Amino acid sequence: MHRDRSVLFIGNFLSAAGGSRGVCEELADRLPSLGWRVLTTSNRRPKLFRLADMIRTVVKYRHDYAMAQVDVFSGPAFFWAEAVAFALRSFHKPCVLTLHGGNLPAFAARWPGRTRRLLSSANVVTAPSAYLATMLQPWCGPIRVIPNPIELASYPWRERIAAQPKLIWLRAFHEVYNPVMAAKVAAALAQDYPALTLAMAGPDKGDGSFQQARAETAAAGLNGRIRFLGHVDKREVPRVLGEADIFLNTTRMDNTPVSVIEAMACGLCVVSTNVGGIPYLVRDGQEALLVPPGDVGSMTGAVRRLLQPGLLCRSLSRNARTAACAFDSARVMASWNNLFESLLSVTCPPPR
């Protein structure tokens, strides 16, 4: 294959080592079917080793790729993108920067100069949501929105005509995702709904959130009714979601969570906090019910609405599946293919 149709993906490729599977891994796996050769970096667990591996790959294989796609996160990881982007420009490589994370707008407001320098150095800046595109536009101009892809056919849709008290929470156990709130909602509902169950799935990030959720469960006497499933393999997510009717998203900060899109694709009734990019993803009362962050009472009340007779469940279930169609991999990958093809003839100047 001609080397010009080659892309270097620079991000966190950690799923094989027990980490979460990032969107960059999904793109790297799917792009070869469209005739592209893909290189990736990095799968190193220690953060400094990962950065060193990224720079080494950019330099060592500079003759083997025509362009690069770089994930951009806030915090210390922002420096990785700065270092990698500078190296890519040194070799005149076209660069696509892809924004991630609900905290990136706050980081940009704190570090406007760094943000402007990095984003303006890219040939194209993309974002998986209109939220990030809107919030980061002041630092670089127009941002192309390309959603995170899912294989829609892998998520069987079941219309929730009348929701049963079968709840599910699917995220990493970390303070930012507030898993304790889900346990508290279940506790508030348990007495009125004896058949209520809550499945909580996701890896333990080690900040104490998992232990707090377990403690809340024990204190409410819900051991056995709240089940902790641990990490769920990506292939098993549709099955796990399909066993529930109501999806709880309790996050304090977010962008466009794939777990919510997956729940929508399966037809679950979504109840979510209205933070970050969530209101850009769903409309309150149309594709989901939205509540203030940390408000256990409001989320409990939203679940009660879904458990009462009426047309709300069916409406949310249908609308959610329709909205999820925009994230189907075939449509999303066509957008990435068009973007990369537009960069094949681009020549980049060296960094300033």
How would DSSP label each residue in 129-163?
A: SHHHHHHHGGGTS--EE-PPPB-GGGS-----SS-
267 and 173 fall within a common domain:
yes
Condensed to tens digits (0 to 9), the pLDDT of residues 88-103 reads 999 999 999 999 988 9
pLDDT value of residue 307: 97
CA 221, CA 138: separation in Å to the nearest integer? Answer: 50
- Does a structural domain hold residue 351? no
pLDDT at 23 over 90: no
Condensed to tens digits (0 to 9), the pLDDT of residues 201-222 reads 999 999 999 999 999 999 999 9
Burial of 159: CB neighbours in 10 Å, binned 0-12, 13-18, 19+? exposed
Range of the domain at 249: 152-326
177 and 53 fall within a common domain:
no
- Does a structural domain hold residue 347? no
The number of distinct structural domains making up the chain is 2
pLDDT at 1 over 70: no
Question: Across all residues in the chain, what is the average pLDDT?
Answer: 94
115 and 181 fall within a common domain:
no
- Does a structural domain hold residue 1? no
- Does a structural domain hold residue 51? yes
170 and 248 fall within a common domain:
yes
161 and 175 fall within a common domain:
yes
Condensed to tens digits (0 to 9), the pLDDT of residues 87-145 reads 999 999 999 999 998 899 999 999 999 999 999 999 999 999 999 999 999 999 899 99
114 and 53 fall within a common domain:
yes
DSSP state of 45: S
83 and 174 fall within a common domain:
no
79 and 139 fall within a common domain:
yes
- Does a structural domain hold residue 186? yes
115 and 162 fall within a common domain:
no
- Does a structural domain hold residue 297? yes
Task: Return the CATH number at 305.
Answer: 3.40.50.2000
Condensed to tens digits (0 to 9), the pLDDT of residues 292-332 reads 999 999 999 999 999 999 999 999 999 999 999 999 999 99
137 and 276 fall within a common domain:
no
Condensed to tens digits (0 to 9), the pLDDT of residues 251-302 reads 999 988 999 999 999 999 999 999 999 999 999 999 999 999 999 999 999 9
43 and 188 fall within a common domain:
no
What's the whole-number mean pLDDT along residues 15-26? 79
258 and 172 fall within a common domain:
yes
- Does a structural domain hold residue 319? yes
Tokens linked to 21: 């599977």
Query: Helix (H, G, I), strand (E, B), or coil: what is residue 289?
Result: strand
- Does a structural domain hold residue 49? yes
pLDDT value of residue 142: 93
